[in-house]
Structure 1
Amino acid sequence: MAKIYLDPGHGGTDPGAVANGLQEKVLTLKIALKTRDILNRDYEGHSIRMSRTSDTTRSLSQRTNDANSWGADYFVSIHINAGGGTGYEDYIYNGSVSNNTITYRDKLHAEVMKQVDFRNRGKKRANFHVLRQSSMPAVLTENGFIDTTADANKLKSDAYLDRIALGHANGIAQALGLKRKSGSGGSGKQGYVEVITPSLWTYNTANWDDKAVIVNEGEVFTVARDKFKVGNGHMYQLKSGLYITASTQYVRYYTK
């Protein structure tokens, strides 16, 4: 039974970064709870413990001591960045680490980047307490910049937080070799995209220059191929054979 420790950064008297009407402590808790729920919905063979499940104050030592005493197999600390940049990055300890620490982080990074259209800021190392003091493989993720308008607008979307959480859940599952529950596919079920902008181009091929027909707000299409990278953006392939942008500015992805 794999033991997963989810650590929503900050909380209680420590709001973390604050900007654009958002608080880091609120966002990290939402992402962590969604990650927990996806793991429990789609995978088996694990147990999950969280440093907090509500807006409570937890010191850094309380978090790592709790994970260490529980005997966690993977420590995942979830944060939102600040400082005027843009994009996603993650960290492991900048000292001596196990091979699993590196492998686990590589899998998590790849799965998060499959789900989001944040700029990829890369895989980094740092001397953070939760990475240094955890006795198991540990990673700290930075999911967009709260003080950058473009990133903040994405973080204001609950559907976008779902995508971030799905990336975390799938990455953790891959790292620990969790088995999918019977009947659970890519994101759990059949995917669909709904157009949420007045009009939108579709494409004949996975090429932004190969425009096909315009679709309209409210139209829903069945996804044949999940989100994949095309140039500087991402697309879905539709059951019809056409392609459509995966940008959450223009479409909403959901399953049923």
Structure 2
Amino acid sequence: MTSAFINFNGEIVPANSQLLTTANRAFRYGDGLFESMRLMKGQLKFANLHADRLQRGMKALKIDGYSQMDAWFLKEKVEELAIRNKIKHGRIRLTVYRDAEGLYTPSLNKMGYCMEMQPVDEPRYFLNSKGLIMDIFTDLPKATNYLSNIKTCNSLIYVMAGIFKEQNKLDEVFLLNQNGFLCEAGSSNVFVWYNNHLYTPALSEGCVEGVMRQVIINIAKENNIGITEAQINPDILYEADEVFLTNASRGIQCVMGYGVKRYFNRLSKTLMDELNKL
């Protein structure tokens, strides 16, 4: 189910409006980035973290207007669109693109944006009742550079990972970086509980700088759970006691199996309880 209205460059219009031309740079070159967010009880969750990540991403891509995309702007636009769509709980995608002409070299660095909203029933985060079965997608290692941490519109590696997932009847896949170390999952960050310590790939390993990733790191520190951002050999997946994934839309998802290995989900339940207290 999709909402009836979207926000296109500040104007609320019907969601089925034909607004883009083939000259749009996000369509032609993947020239932009996006933010996935969660609406609960009519309010945008973690607005400050989303705004901070979005602004840093726009600065890195040299898209003008990043100062406009602050927490106040995000909350105002999300709540305005939610009221128009009569939605209290939902998932939001904000796409920001370079609104300019030109070939590879743009004529301008002007910002354009589109905000979409999808209603959901849940007023809180819920841990998945059935753990995920996963494997490693090895066809396309992810490069590690200053764009790796940004959720850009150039998402072909995730598209190919999704096709691999479907062809192999998996729930999700792990991605490796160019050096063969654990990077992230197809649409989430990865956490590994091993020897009573929590690990997650460091940003230097090429993972997306997830908002929920940072929230869980903060929760772990506040609850005296040892946590390290590190370079992680994927072989640890055979030895880990627990593995879970995080993103802003779903919160935490526990992993049940990788190959013949099976995991517990005690820590993910604890962290989910703490997350919902926020």
* TM-score, normalised with respect to structure 2: 0.28
TM-score normalised to the size of structure 1?
0.29
